[in-house]
Amino acid sequence: GPMPRRMTGTRVTWTIVGLLLAALGGLVYQQKDAWRAPFTGRVVTVADGDTLGVLRGAREVRVRLYGVDCPERSQPHGVAAKQFTSAHCFNRDVEVKVLDKDRYGRIVGEVILPDGSSLNRLLVEAGLAWWYRQYSKDRSFGELEAQARKARRGLWADRNPEPPWEYRERERERGGRAP
C-alpha cells in the first residue's frame, strides 16, 4: 500500500537534513579552527626579536616565535635581536607553521624563511634568544643554546645574562610596566 512509500519519503528528508547539519557543523568547526592552518605571508612589522606582524590574506596577524625568548629591547642584546630578525625577514614572504595561540591571542609558531631555514632556530644559534623551556619541550633548541653558550655568541658573551622572563618578572615587581 501507499503507507511505506510515505515513510521512505520522510526518512529521505530527515537524512538530507542530517547531512546538511553535519556539513554545516563541519564548516563552522573548520572556520573556528582555520587559524591553525599554516600560511605564507609578508612580514610587515617586527615588534622585537621574537614578535612579528605577518599578513595572512589582507589582515596583519601577530606571530610570537615558538620555543624562543629574546632579550627585551631594554636588555643587553635586545636591540641586536630585533635587528637580526628584521634583517632576516622584514618585507619578505615567510611560511608560518602555527602551533598554538598565547594568552594575548597571538599565533605561536615557527617562521620558515625564504631559504627554508627556521628563524626561531637561527636566533638561538646566534645567541640572541634563550630556549623558552617553560613553553617548549623541544630539546633541539636546548642543544642550539648550549652550542651558542659554549661559543660565547651574542648574549652568552656576557658574564651573567639575565633570562628575559626573570627580567619581566622583576619589572612587574618594581611596579614598572611589563615590557
- Residues noted as catalytic: 64, 72, 106
- Spatial neighbors of 83 by CB under 8 A, at least 6 apart, are none
96 grid coordinates = 608560518
Amino acid residing at 88: H
Q: How far is CA 21 from CA 12, 27, 114, in A?
A: 14, 10, 42
Put residue 57 in one of left, alpha, beta given phi > 0 → left and psi -120 to 50 → alpha. left
CA–CA separation, 123 and 5 (whole Å): 70
At 111, list the grid cell: 617562521
Count of C-beta atoms within a 10 Å radius of residue 66: 24
With a CB cutoff of 8 Å and minimum separation 6, the contacts of 154 are 77, 80, 126, 127, 128, 148
